[in-house]
């Protein structure tokens, strides 16, 4: 995973159901000979930038000294209402998987896989995060891992995952 998810699941801006948000561009090193794409390819610094959705989101080279902000925009694809459109991401407000904690804290997951990793971690007796989401699991507030809070959180996580996947 390299610290970033392959995709994010959000609420569809049209129908509100679970939709997928894909990054608009793929960044590869010029040495990587195999670029399996139908999109346009651009050189930017030491990168090759592949437009994954050239008709929706064309590549615009950032200004001098400006870096590209991953996941600031993407392409939302909804399997329910069939929306395919550019979307500015508002995180964590757009997150499909999110759970309110005490105060104004919100626990969120990038996608179902991440939500299941959180559920497994919070529900286990082991506090040694591992796997693709280990860095994210270490950031869960300690007070949410106490026995009392953990029970409530496990119920919330389980209910939201079962609701989407009957």
Residue bearing the bigger pLDDT, 15 or 69: 15
Q: What is the pLDDT of residue 1?
A: 46
pTM: 0.84
Helix (H, G, I), strand (E, B) or coil at 2: coil
Q: What residue spans define the domains of the chain?
A: 8-88, 97-164
Three-state secondary structure call for residue 8: strand
pLDDT-derived band at 82, boundaries 50, 70, 90: very high
- My answer on whether omega of the bond before 92 falls inside 30° of 0, hence cis, is yes
Q: How confident is the model at residue 37, as a pLDDT?
A: 55
**Residue 26 vs residue 77, higher pLDDT:** 77
Sheet containing strand 47-51, edge to edge, reads: 25-28, 47-51, 41-44
What pLDDT digit, counting tens, does each position of 5-47 carry?
Answer: 889 999 999 999 999 999 999 998 887 555 555 568 999 988 8
């Amino acid at each position: 995973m390299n610290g970033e998810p392959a995709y994010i699941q959000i609420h569809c801006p049209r129908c509100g159901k679970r939709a997928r948000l894909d990054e608009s561009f793929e960044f590869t090193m010029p040495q990587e000979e195999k670029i399996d794409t139908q999109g346009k390819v651009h050189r930017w610094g030491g990168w090759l930038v592949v437009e994954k959705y050239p008709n929706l989101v064309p590549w615009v080279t950032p200004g001098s000294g400006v870096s590209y902000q991953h996941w600031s925009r993407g392409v939302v694809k909804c399997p329910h209402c069939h929306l395919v459109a550019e979307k500015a991401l508002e995180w964590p407000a757009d997150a499909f998987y999110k759970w309110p904690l005490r105060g104004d804290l919100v626990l969120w997951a990038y996608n179902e896989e991440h939500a299941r990793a959180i559920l497994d971690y919070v529900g286990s007796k082991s506090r040694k995060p591992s796997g693709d989401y280990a860095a994210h699991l270490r950031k869960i507030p300690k007070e949410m891992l106490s026995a009392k809070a953990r029970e409530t959180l496990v119920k919330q996580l389980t209910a939201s995952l079962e609701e989407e996947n009957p």
